[in-house]
């Protein structure tokens, strides 16, 4: 009998003969959080009925198919699995996850929990650097936060002073930092490996102060990254629904929690995008991968500058309808904006400079519209400051 079959037989014995298990080994207090899921799959899907060789064959076939699958260009992705093969694959995937090193499978979970635990009690108005639960520093808009290889921090050119009660290593509480960027603001972080992250309006990023064997960050919102190449340490960007793995490249990630759609746009290099169903896409430059609640939905060729110009405070408009432009600005600045229904489909061209305050941005849109309309009333749009 092969090693795989021995492993399978041992697991089958373990799950089928729970009566002989010592007291308490299946109690909620002592179980790994994934054991109940595995027990459910075993009990409900009856993989043992298929036979050892059948389960192993289907599992190998499924893994082989997933490794070679590439999402077709410009087509919606649809994946349908036969019930038996799906059950076998889910079982195998769950087993694989259980036997991963604990530190590796917990990185993303720890960072997401850190983000939630250190979320401000109320909406922040300034860019905020969270060093620990006790130390949250408000910094200027467009500030640059830089980390050394040992975890020392500078904001612009000024070194952040640490106290003895706030060590930079040892505990989970202190091994991560996060940057919270409110509406209408932006910031930049240079990580310990010299990788750079530009953080857009309404976004939060969690990252280690210094990297160990892995380079992993967590993003809620939109970021543009320039990753320092290191073939021995792939760089992983995790979100609540997908992850992007890269060795060294430049790309944009938009993944705001609560929004129906997310995307990755690759400027240069190559990245692997994996959705929550473990489906992979290897991207090439000038491609955009779109995702929704069902996972990867589309891959298309785009003009990358349209998606990354925000890094320089610029939004390029190529005939977008006014209602779409105003909706984006309302989200970016966190303020409601309305326009007359008769002009909501008017196309808008040119550049908007997002370093300006909202009043100036709206005035520039009004000037752009005046070039295509002679009716003053049709160029009126309002927000709380009552521009118009």
- Strand partners of residue 327: none
- Strand partners of residue 256: none
Could you read off the pLDDT of 166-190 as tens digits, one per residue?
444 444 445 899 999 999 999 999 9
Tokens standing for residue 303:
């003009």
Whole-angstrom CA distances from 140 to 127, 179, 187, 358 are 6, 12, 9, 18
DSSP state of 227: P
The dihedral through the CA atoms of 249, 252, 257, 258 has a sign that is negative
DSSP string computed for 176-192? EEEEEE-TT--EEEE-T
CA 41 from centroid of its chain's CA atoms: 29
Q: Which pTM does this prediction carry?
A: 0.68
The chain-wide mean pLDDT, for the chain, equals 75
Q: Please determine, for residue 315, whether its predicted confidence score (pLDDT) is greater than 70.
A: yes
pLDDT score, position 356: 82
DSSP 3-state assignment of 344? coil
Q: Please determine, for residue 324, whether its predicted confidence score (pLDDT) is greater than 50.
A: yes
Contacts for 363 with CB less than 8 Å, ≥ 6 apart:
387
Could you read off the pLDDT of 56-94 as tens digits, one per residue?
555 555 555 554 444 444 333 333 333 333 333 334 333
Q: DSSP H helical segments within the chain, as ranges?
A: 3-16, 35-45, 52-68, 83-98, 102-117, 172-175, 305-308, 322-333, 358-370
Could you read off the pLDDT of 231-288 as tens digits, one per residue?
899 899 999 889 999 988 999 999 998 889 999 999 999 999 999 899 999 999 999 9
CB 317 within 8 A of CB 342: no
Distance CA 174, CA 205 (A): 15
Contacts for 195 with CB less than 8 Å, ≥ 6 apart:
215, 225, 226, 227, 228, 235
Domains and CATH numbers, the chain: 3-98 (no CATH), 102-306 (2.60.120.1440), 313-382 (3.55.50.30)
CB 257 within 8 A of CB 206: no
Distance CA 274, CA 27 (A): 33
Could you read off the pLDDT of 128-159 as tens digits, one per residue?
999 877 788 999 999 999 999 888 899 998 88
pLDDT score, position 118: 77
Whole-angstrom CA distances from 82 to 60, 69, 87, 163 are 15, 17, 9, 58
Distance CA 367, CA 323 (A): 16
CB-count exposure of residue 21 (10 Å: 0-12, 13-18, 19+): exposed
DSSP 3-state assignment of 269? coil
């Amino acid at each position: 009998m092969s090693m795989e079959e021995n492993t399978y037989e041992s697991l089958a014995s373990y799950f089928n003969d729970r009566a002989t298990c010592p007291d308490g080994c299946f109690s909620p207090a002592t179980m790994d959080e994934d054991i109940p899921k595995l027990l459910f799959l075993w009990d409900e899907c009856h993989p043992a009925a298929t036979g050892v060789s059948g389960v192993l064959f289907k599992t190998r076939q499924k893994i082989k198919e997933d490794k070679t699958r590439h999402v077709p260009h410009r087509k919606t992705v649809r994946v349908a699995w036969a019930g038996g093969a799906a059950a076998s694959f889910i079982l195998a995937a769950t087993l694989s996850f259980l036997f991963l090193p604990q530190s590796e499978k917990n990185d993303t979970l720890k960072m997401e929990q850190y983000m939630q635990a250190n979320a401000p009690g109320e909406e922040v108005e300034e860019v905020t650097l969270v060093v620990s639960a006790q130390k949250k520093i408000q910094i200027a808009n467009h500030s640059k936060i830089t980390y050394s290889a040992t975890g020392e921090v500078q904001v612009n050119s000024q070194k952040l002073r640490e106290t003895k009660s706030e060590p930079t290593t040892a505990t989970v509480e202190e091994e991560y930092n996060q940057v919270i960027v409110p509406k209408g603001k932006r910031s930049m972080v240079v990580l310990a490996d010299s990788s750079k992250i530009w953080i857009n309006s309404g976004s939060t990023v969690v990252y280690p102060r210094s990297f160990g064997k892995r380079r992993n960050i967590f993003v809620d919102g939109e970021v543009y990254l320039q990753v320092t190449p290191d073939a021995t340490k792939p760089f992983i960007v995790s979100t609540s629904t997908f992850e992007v793995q890269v060795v060294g490249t430049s790309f944009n990630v938009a993944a705001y929690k609560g929004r129906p759609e997310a995307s990755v746009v690759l400027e240069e290099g190559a990245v692997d995008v994996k959705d929550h169903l473990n489906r992979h896409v290897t991207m090439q430059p000038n491609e955009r991968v779109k995702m929704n609640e069902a996972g990867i939905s589309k891959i298309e060729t785009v003009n990358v500058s349209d998606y990354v110009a925000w890094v320089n405070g610029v939004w390029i408009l190529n005939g977008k309808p006014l209602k779409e432009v105003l909706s984006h600005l309302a989200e970016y600045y966190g303020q409601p904006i309305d326009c007359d229904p008769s002009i909501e489909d008017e196309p808008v061209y040119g550049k908007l400079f997002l370093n300006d305050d909202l009043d100036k941005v709206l005035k520039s849109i009004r000037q752009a519209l005046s070039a295509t309309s002679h009716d003053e009333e049709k160029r009126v749009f309002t927000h709380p400051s009552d521009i118009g």
